[in-house]
Structure 1
Amino acid sequence: MQRKSFGNMQCPIARSLERVGEWWSILILRDAFYGLTRFDEFQKHLDIAPNMLTRRLNALVEEGLLERHLYCEKPPRHEYRLTQRGRDFRPVLLALMAWGNQHFAPEGASVLLLDTATGKSADPVLIDSTTGKRISEKDHVMGPGPAAAEPILQRFARAASVTSK
């Protein structure tokens, strides 16, 4: 069965899922943030089939989230390092971690975000960088951007008419 591509959709969430929506990709990025760089490290830590790991690493390199660096010429061996685009994924991982700790860890959190100065647990939240205000359902809604095509404009117009009733 052919997988549906989200790459040409105008939705930023769909486009992002096209790049990282496969769970192995997110786990590989997580492990790259933990400091893993080599194929055998990823394979051992994730217990992933080599052919699947090869495909996921190639896709992450292709999408510009990881870059490949040769560390051994014979045989050729590469390290995989986060690019700036890959490092910019960190807040998404932190949000997933916090959500998972809140809703899917009945035994308690196994991984926390820690403040380096105090060593205390930190709670990642989204804030508006312009106002410094915490993003909330009450104060913030999604709306069409300047590049929104007609289907997106219609979707938000429909949503606005439903909520105003």
Structure 2
Amino acid sequence: MAARIEDCPLARAVDRIGDWRTLELLHETLNGVHDVRRMRENLGVTAATLRERLDAAVATGLVAPHGDGYRPTELGRSLRPLILVLAAWGNRELEPGRRGLVLVDARTGQEVEPVVVDRHTGRRVDTADHVFRAGPAAGPELRSRYA
């Protein structure tokens, strides 16, 4: 399925990822699960379903066959921050004692809360100080929205 607005990066990203199950598969590979049998057990899916998901993730360049399993590609690894932030967002409405999965500092074991910052300035970008605007390749639809 093609993005509704071809030059919209959000539409392109969602189109490339497909659905939430792709992120779930990437989460497995990013956590070191590369063996197909273990992936299938962890995800609770049939061999055929996992094969479809893996084939789709390979076709979009997010994972690649490696030995007798699969590993995330550089493109797949670049989605790790998104997965971390989505998981934290999913936990924000839950009391700490009701969270099934939390992100922790591997050295201290303390729970951490990811934020999105600009690589160059280190400033958070989830404030009103940062807005979208049409980029140099924006088509008429995006230009009309983000003039």
Structure-1-length-normalised TM-score: 0.80
Partner of 1:50: 47
| Aligned equivalents of 2:42, 2:126: Cα separation in 1 | 36
The 5 A counterparts of 1:142-157 are 142-157=132-147
Could you tell me which of 107, 128, 131 is aligned with 1:117? 107
Q: Which moved more, 1:93-102 or 1:105-114?
A: 105-114
| Aligned equivalents of 1:64, 1:7: Cα separation in 2 | 21
| Aligned equivalents of 1:7, 1:63: Cα separation in 2 | 18
| Aligned equivalents of 1:52, 1:155: Cα separation in 2 | 39
Could you tell me which of 10, 14, 19 is aligned with 2:11? 14
Partner of 2:131: 141
| Aligned equivalents of 1:116, 1:127: Cα separation in 2 | 21
Residues 61 and 70 of structure 1, relative CA distance in 2, 3 Å threshold: same
Structure 2 residue runs without a partner (length 5+)? none
Relative contact order (C-alpha < 8 Å, sep 6+): which is higher? 2
Partner of 2:36: 39
* Per-residue deviation, 1:7: 8.1
| Aligned equivalents of 1:113, 1:70: Cα separation in 2 | 29
Partner of 1:82: 72
Instruction: Identify, as 1 or 2, the structure richer in strand.
Output: 1
| Aligned equivalents of 1:52, 1:145: Cα separation in 2 | 39
Overall identity of the aligned pairs, in %: 34
Does the 8 Å contact 1:9/1:15 carry over to 2?
yes
* Per-residue deviation, 1:26: 1.1
Deviations along 1:117-152, one digit per CA (max 9) or x if unpaired, are: 332221100011122111133211111112111111
Deviations along 1:95-130, one digit per CA (max 9) or x if unpaired, are: 111100102x35532222222333222110001112
| Aligned equivalents of 2:6, 2:48: Cα separation in 1 | 29
SS of equivalent to 1:114: coil
* Per-residue deviation, 1:8: 7.1
| Aligned equivalents of 2:99, 2:42: Cα separation in 1 | 20
> What RMSD, in angstroms, separates the aligned Cα atoms of the two structures?
1.8
| Aligned equivalents of 1:124, 1:97: Cα separation in 2 | 10
* Per-residue deviation, 1:52: 2.1
* Paired letter, 2:103: L
Partner of 1:69: 66
SS of equivalent to 2:121: coil
| Aligned equivalents of 1:49, 1:142: Cα separation in 2 | 41
Residues 7 and 153 of structure 1, relative CA distance in 2, 3 Å threshold: closer
